[in-house]
């Protein structure tokens, strides 16, 4: 069985981030066909087109790591009804220089995690808008808005809520199928 490499982009830099905890839980719950690796974004310099000809080493490393992946999983909080600036910066860094986007054509999925009851609905949908433009076929169903995150993890960061764990397993199985379908389609069209 082929194991697809999935770059996990966590939109929160906070040490005790619920999103990071969820990303780690998803790593453990993912089916064997997926290998999830969290790609850090906190050290990326802000995107500036003036640097495209001689990009910072952090940009180069980030882009190379994403190019080696088969798909993307975004795990994000919601800041002011949208995605955090650090996540938007990572998206911009990966999409440039124009015409050389590392996101192009690879399958993705979005999970928003929030201590609020709405589960980051606004951030989830704003991120999906960017993915449409970047040509990332983004899994439509099941949607994942994880609310009340402060009650889902123990002091070690382990996911303790059974219904959330069951949902996460179903979500990751659906994502594995999504990646397989979209990776196969992409490879067939590239080889045609």
Q: What is the pLDDT of residues 93-145, one digit of tens each?
A: 999 999 999 999 999 999 999 998 888 999 999 999 999 999 999 999 999 99
Mean pLDDT of 45-60: 97
Residues spanned by the domain of 161: 4-191
* pTM attached to this predicted model: 0.94
Per-residue burial over 124-157, b = 16 or more CB atoms within 10 Å of its CB, e = otherwise: bbbbbebbeebebbbbeeebbbbbebeebbeeee
Number of compact structural domains in the chain: 1
CATH number of the structural domain spanning residue 27: 3.40.50.360
């Amino acid at each position: 069985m082929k194991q697809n490499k999935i770059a996990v982009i966590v939109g929160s830099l906070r040490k005790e981030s619920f999103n990071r905890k969820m990303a780690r839980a998803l790593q453990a719950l993912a089916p064997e066909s997926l290998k999830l690796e969290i790609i850090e974004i906190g050290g990326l310099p802000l995107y500036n087109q003036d640097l495209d000809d001689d990009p910072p080493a952090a940009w180069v490393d980030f882009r190379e790591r994403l190019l080696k992946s088969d798909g993307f999983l975004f795990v994000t909080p919601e800041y002011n009804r949208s995605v955090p600036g650090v996540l938007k910066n990572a998206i911009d860094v990966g999409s440039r220089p124009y015409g050389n986007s590392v996101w192009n054509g690879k399958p993705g999925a979005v999970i928003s995690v929030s201590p609020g009851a709405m589960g980051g609905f606004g951030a989830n949908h704003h991120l999906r808008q960017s993915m449409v433009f970047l040509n990332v076929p983004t899994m439509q169903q099941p949607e994942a808005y994880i609310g009340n995150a402060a009650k889902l993890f123990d002091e070690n960061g382990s996911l303790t809520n059974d219904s959330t764990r069951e949902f996460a397993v179903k979500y990751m199985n659906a994502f594995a199928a999504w990646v397989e379908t979209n990776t196969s389609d992409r490879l067939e069209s590239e080889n045609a």
